[in-house]
Chain A
Amino acid sequence: MKKKNIKTAFSKAVIYFLLVLIGFVFLYPILYMVSYSFMDTQDLVNPFVKWIPTKLYTDNYVRACQVLDYFPTLIKTIYVNLIPAVLQTIFTSFTGYGLARFEFRGKKLVMLLILVTFIIPAQVTMIPQFLMYKDLNLIGSLYSYILPAIFSQGLKSSIFILIFYQFFKMLPKSLEEAAQLDGASFMVIFTKIAVPSALPAYIVSFIFSFVWYWNETTLSALYFGNKIKTLTLGLQNFAATYQNVYSMSVTQGGKNLNEAISMAGTLISILPLLIFYFIFQRWFVQSVDKTGITGE
């Protein structure tokens, strides 16, 4: 018996060791970012300074904020991603509910096409979509995000439709049937009974939609042009913008872009996402359990 105890204790120690090791590897780039973002030019070249900067040097952050035009851009970024995410969540729930609750001809085909849509890369549809928005004069406006979201064709919308489909399938029908016998119309049943009981699916869909919209750059660069600046696009052009903002000061003995400033810029551009993650952390990590998605 004792031998077995030792064995389980040993295997637990191995598991912890592995988890901590993997955890460190996962966090390494973030730790690197934090550490470097506080280094001044001397620390960067000093071979003895590896991880901990000699002093808390915050000028990198001041510069990065200026380059990204931080607070106005942040507010715009939230707005630009929040609206499509909310719309995408609402309208994919419509589609998911329709598929989960009703029988109609061609349902199998629709399910199949939803899966196929997931596999089709954005590159195949983005150019004609771009031309269409151009014809409608919508390039540089948020409508290029809003319109597909309203018609359940937004970013990775197939996943959200499947989440809602699974969730509504799991909900017992009895409550809705009782309401139907009482004479409630189907819209009332949907909004008053189905939607409130599917709250976890709504939250999970919304947070993922928001994060995926936030991190998207291929489509936003194409559709928004130079009109809408987000933090993610700002980070993409960080080096070029830095040259523009500080080109004068460099010639006057100012400072070139260095890795510390880049890291500070990267960190502040993901900081809102990190905060968002720690608020909704439970929802992200338990999303699969909460929505019952296993991917059939």
Chain B
Amino acid sequence: MKLTARNSAKGYFFISGWIIGFLIFTLIPIIRTFWFSFNRVRFTADGIKESFIGLLNYKNAFLMDVAFTDGLINYAGQMAVFIPVIITFSLIAAILLTKDIKGKGFFRTIFFLPVIITSGPVMKQLIEQNATSLPGISEYFSVQELANEFGLLGNLLGTVLSSFIMILWFCGVQILIFIAAIQKLDQSMYEAASIDGASGWQSFWKLTLPALMPVVGVNVLYTLVTLSGFSLNTIVQKISTDMYDINRGIGYATALSVIYFGVILIILTVFMVFINGRRKKAER
């Protein structure tokens, strides 16, 4: 009894920093953000002044601010396309890199390199130079034409093609996680399957993929969080600029951030439900 009390006291000692930090830098800011989002917030000589305006900020965001609603729809569309592309590509790259070949380390080094240098400003420079589309691809089509012809879907397809390398540059960590997971898979399972006459293709769909589904979930989460926080993201930029906008200000910007968080959670839920569904189907 005495020992466990001492044990838990030590535990609290080690995580006390985190608890204090969580309160000061996460929980209280979240509560304040939530409160601000129902207020008009102004800077005055002696600090900030709030005046309660109810849901007006939210109403304005959804009904008056086309840049925001369009940005959100565009963001959701991008996540729906980018995340599957990134996951699929990372999985393919990881499978190639776990094959028995020479020079694996070299290729891993190359595939991981973008993780080190991907920042908003670097990406912006490369996009401005058109260096993020596949070499020569812009000669065959234009994003504008695709968007005109096929609407939102064409716009998305255009974005994927024109910023294909940018999408790939977000794959580094996911590739590593997949490689580690594949290496842990039980090899005897494959031997048994191959004795039973299963082809490599079959055993991928029947064995590898179902076993990797939990890791797919981790990678989806990681990808979503990384893309949602990336500084070139239009919503991220809008929140940062609206905060200083005289007509909008802090109250409005916090309302946008609350909505944005909600949308992120919805997208995450949709993906997780989908992955769980696949897993259950595979188990049956």
**Nearest CB of B to A173, in Å:** 12
**Which of these, B15, B99, B214, B228, contacts A110 with CB under 8 Å?**
B15
Q: With a CB–CB cut-off of 8 A, which chain A residues contact B112? A: 284-285
Bound-state CA distance A91–B20 (Å) is: 12
Pick the 5 closest A-B CB pairs, nearest first.
Answer: A151-B21, A98-B14, A102-B11, A215-B119, A104-B8
Name the interface size band of chain B: 35 or more
Stretch at the interface among A55-63, A117-125, A195-203, A243-251: A117-125
**Which of these, B13, B18, B33, B99, contacts A124 with CB under 8 Å?**
B33
A interface secondary structure, majority: helix
Q: From B261, which residue of chain A is reached at the shortest CB distance?
A: A124
Interface set, chain B 218-252, CB cutoff 8 A to A: 218, 221, 225, 228-229, 231, 235-236, 239-240, 243, 250
Bound-state CA distance A49–B214 (Å) is: 49
B interface secondary structure, majority: helix
A103 touches B4 (CB 8 A): yes
Are A123 and B111 CB-contacts (below 8 A) given A15-B96, A262-B125? no
**Nearest CB of A to B4, in Å:** 7
At the interface, yes or no: A191 with Cβ under 8 Å from chain B?
no
Interface set, chain A 133-164, CB cutoff 8 A to B: 135, 147-148, 150-153, 161
Bound-state CA distance A19–B24 (Å) is: 47
What does the 1/0 interface line of B1-14 toward A look like (CB < 8 Å)?
00010011111111
Are A289 and B180 CB-contacts (below 8 A) given A15-B101, A151-B20, A218-B236? yes
Are A102 and B7 CB-contacts (below 8 A) given A94-B17, A119-B264, A124-B257? yes
B30 touches A125 (CB 8 A): yes
What does the 1/0 interface line of A180-205 toward B look like (CB < 8 Å)?
00000010001000000000000000
Q: With a CB–CB cut-off of 8 A, which chain B residues contact A232? A: 119-122
At the interface, yes or no: A107 with Cβ under 8 Å from chain B?
yes
List A residues at the B interface (Cβ < 8 Å): 12, 15-16, 18-19, 22-23, 25-30, 32-33, 36, 91, 94-95, 97-99, 101-105, 107, 110, 113-114, 117-129, 131-132, 135, 147-148, 150-153, 161, 186, 190, 211, 214-218, 221-222, 232-233, 235-236, 238, 259, 262-263, 265-266, 269-270, 273-274, 276-277, 281, 284-285, 287-289, 293-296
**Nearest CB of A to B160, in Å:** 14
At the interface, yes or no: B131 with Cβ under 8 Å from chain A?
yes
B117 touches A127 (CB 8 A): no
Most chain B CB within 10 A, of A128, A147, A233, A265, is at A128
At the interface, yes or no: B204 with Cβ under 8 Å from chain A?
no
Bound-state CA distance A218–B234 (Å) is: 12
Most chain B CB within 10 A, of A26, A129, A270, A288, is at A26
Are A23 and B107 CB-contacts (below 8 A) given A16-B101, A95-B17, A151-B25? yes
What does the 1/0 interface line of B200-227 toward A look like (CB < 8 Å)?
0000000000000011001001000100
B21 touches A153 (CB 8 A): yes
B4 touches A127 (CB 8 A): no
Q: With a CB–CB cut-off of 8 A, which chain A residues contact B128? A: 259, 262
Bound-state CA distance A55–B141 (Å) is: 33
At the interface, yes or no: B32 with Cβ under 8 Å from chain A?
yes
At the interface, yes or no: B281 with Cβ under 8 Å from chain A?
no
A121 touches B48 (CB 8 A): no
A153 touches B26 (CB 8 A): yes
At the interface, yes or no: B192 with Cβ under 8 Å from chain A?
no
B111 touches A120 (CB 8 A): no
Bound-state CA distance A281–B106 (Å) is: 10
**Which of these, B14, B168, B225, contacts A95 with CB under 8 Å?**
B14
